[in-house]
Structure 1
Amino acid sequence: MASISDDEFDRLLTGFGQESIHLETRDAYGTAVELPHMAKWAVGEPDDSEWLEGWCAVLRSHVAAGRSVRRARIVSEPLSGYQLWSHSIAQPMVDAGEDIRWAPRRLISSIGLPGNDFYLFDDRLVVFLHYSGNGLARGKDTSTDPGDIRMCRKAFEAVWTLAIPHRDYQPI
């Protein structure tokens, strides 16, 4: 495995060929971009979601080019504060073309999962995401190993089958 920079990762998010799939397994994250917006939400302040527009524009361009973007979130219920907030801001991304689904953790007990969240691009490159205990990003490693690719594809599709589309998922 090789480490990848944030800039290289950003290029992958915008430059894949046909498909990007993303599996999230944590109940809380702490990205520098998200934390101020989540803090506003936590105290009931309005958020115009303008900060999401760049990502939504990328999603719209993927859809226009016939590319698929899917995300499955494995969540504990009741949802953590982070996941409640995440649910509250997901609709603009769904409207832009990202298919987001929610998989209650209780439904996926029998599924073998990789040890880290990941993105899989075009069934050719996996990016494993590493986080500290408090959810802050710690780095990313890439793999082109066919075994890693098969494992991630299998895990994602198994979760996806049980996951609930965003439009139908009611947070508990």
Structure 2
Amino acid sequence: MSETLHEIRLRVNGIEHELRVPARRLLSDALRHDLGLTGTHVGCEHGVCGSCTILADGEPVRACLMLAVAAQTHDITTVEGLAEPDGTLSPVQQAFAECHGLQCGFCTPGFLTTVTAGLRREPCPTHEQARDMIAGNLCRCTGYQNIVRAVERAAEIGASS
């Protein structure tokens, strides 16, 4: 017996997509496997590490905890949707590059989306607010200092834009 597929419409990075997915297909799997948006990484599959963080209506959400069928009513932004259409990096992406806020890069997409949402809420964070902003994302390589600096630098870049 084959699994029933559901026809859904997802708006991802400003583009409408029609998919046929099983009811229990995770959004992270739909993004990666059905849409080919492999920037959304899956680390723990339990919502703990933050590598799969995307933006749903501008708010950070763990894509490994959301079903694709539940995402239909939301405007989804993945790491691929953060840069401008011409390839110009967002202030957060630029700051991570400038401040060496990444090493292996596995956790980076989750940090980029989380920080993007955080800076929308708090455009001029204090050092402690910058640290709190990334508290839900795990990195095994950097020691977080350069990531915190990248948050602060992204705020500077955003303020000057």
TM-score (norm 1): 0.25
Structure ranking higher in strand proportion: 1
TM-score for the superposition, normalised by structure 2: 0.26
* Relative contact order higher in (CA < 8 Å, ≥ 6 apart): 1
